[in-house]
Amino acid sequence: MKLSQFKFNLPESLLANNPAEHRDEARLMVLHKDSGKIEHKIFKDVLGYFDDQDVMILNNTKVFPARLYGNKEKTGATIEVFLLRELNKELRLWDVLVDPARKIRVGNKLYFGDDDLLVAEVVDNTTSRGRTIRFLFDGTDEEFRKNVEILGETPLPKYIKRKATAEDKERYQTIFAKHEGAVAAPTAGLHFSRELMKRLELKGVDFAEVTLHVGLGTFRPVEVEDLTKHKMDSEQFIIDQTAVDVVNKALDNKKKICAVGTTSMRAIESAVSSGRKLKAANDWTSKFIFPPYDFSIANCMITNFHTPESTLLMMVSAFGGYENVMNAYQVAVKEKYRFYSFGDAMLII
């Protein structure tokens, strides 16, 4: 398939700048992939589509406050440093993006916080905006992370044209977040409230947790018309034996297995055994899923509404059927569903 086949007109007014007042009260579009039929619901209505021993696969990655603002030595110029991933814990080496990049050179020192709570030195250039920096910090790892927590800002996507607030710290995080390492939230999971999860549990629905640390590469624009030439960034994922057992039991019993979000889907599709079962893994994946694609594990998925020409829309189209999904997106625009990270949800079943 070609990039241009995933174009559609998305009015800017439909990009959600704030979350729904209550997590489980965002709108929910239900798309039946066999018939293409569409229903309009509220998110907590997902309860009506799942039964005893069905499984939901959740991504339990935790977003850390990855956006730091500091000053460059000598000039005092303000710079933004976006922490992408830790390269070496002992040396405190990090892969980062800097802005404005042209002013940040190897050897520069960067100061963060009124009393220089953290100081870093630029040690390498990686891409035009990418740098490797080393934090010059003698305390424990726990103290270092506490300082990042104090100085860092919730890494809201750039399209949100407002400052991150204290509320975002909670709302740009799933209630089941456990393992820190993501620079963006697995947004389909943001719709789950404690009450809804309890009600699903009471219905007999099982949860399998996987971890995929979402990187910024998830949102990297596709710049080639021929999709086979697009390269995804690698993201770390972990699937333990407990999750494997829950999922494979549901596979054997022909139950519904629902991937909550494109990140959960990418993780499980990166860990398929030769017998088309889920297997335990601790690895990196750069898997790019676009139509046509034969899915091995999940038979339904929950996802948010994605932007035109995004790799996320391509994966959803592969799962729900290209015509079905592109038609559903036209309906979503017409019905003014909210798009992107804080937006509404879709259940493909």
Second-level CATH architecture of 3-63+170-348: 3-Layer(aba) Sandwich (3.40)
Q: What whole-number percentage of the chain has pLDDT above 70?
A: 100
Is residue 127 predicted with pLDDT exceeding 80? no
Is residue 5 predicted with pLDDT exceeding 80? yes
The per-residue pLDDT for 306 is 96
Cα–Cα distance between 50 and 39 in angstroms, integer? 16
Q: Which of 287, 161, 309 is nearest to 221 (CA)?
A: 309
- 56-83 average pLDDT score: 91
User: At which residue do the structure tokens 């050179």 appear?
Assistant: 105
Instruction: Report residue 297 CA to chain centroid gap.
Output: 19
Please, what is the average pLDDT of the chain?
Answer: 94
Q: How far is CA 288 from CA 55, 265, 299, 330, in A?
A: 24, 11, 18, 24
Asked if 3-63+170-348 and 67-153 have one fold, the answer is no
Second-level CATH architecture of 67-153: Beta Barrel (2.40)
> Considering the entire predicted model, what is its pTM?
0.92
The amino acid at residue 241 is Q
Strand order through the sheet with 300-304: 38-42, 27-31, 345-348, 300-304, 257-260, 55-59, 206-212, 235-239, 281-285
Is residue 160 predicted with pLDDT exceeding 80? yes
Domain ranges of the chain: 3-63+170-348, 67-153
Cα–Cα distance between 17 and 263 in angstroms, integer? 21
Q: How far is CA 235 from CA 49, 67, 172, in A?
A: 31, 19, 19
Return the bridge partners of 111, or none: 71, 119
The per-residue pLDDT for 116 is 83
- 175-195 average pLDDT score: 95
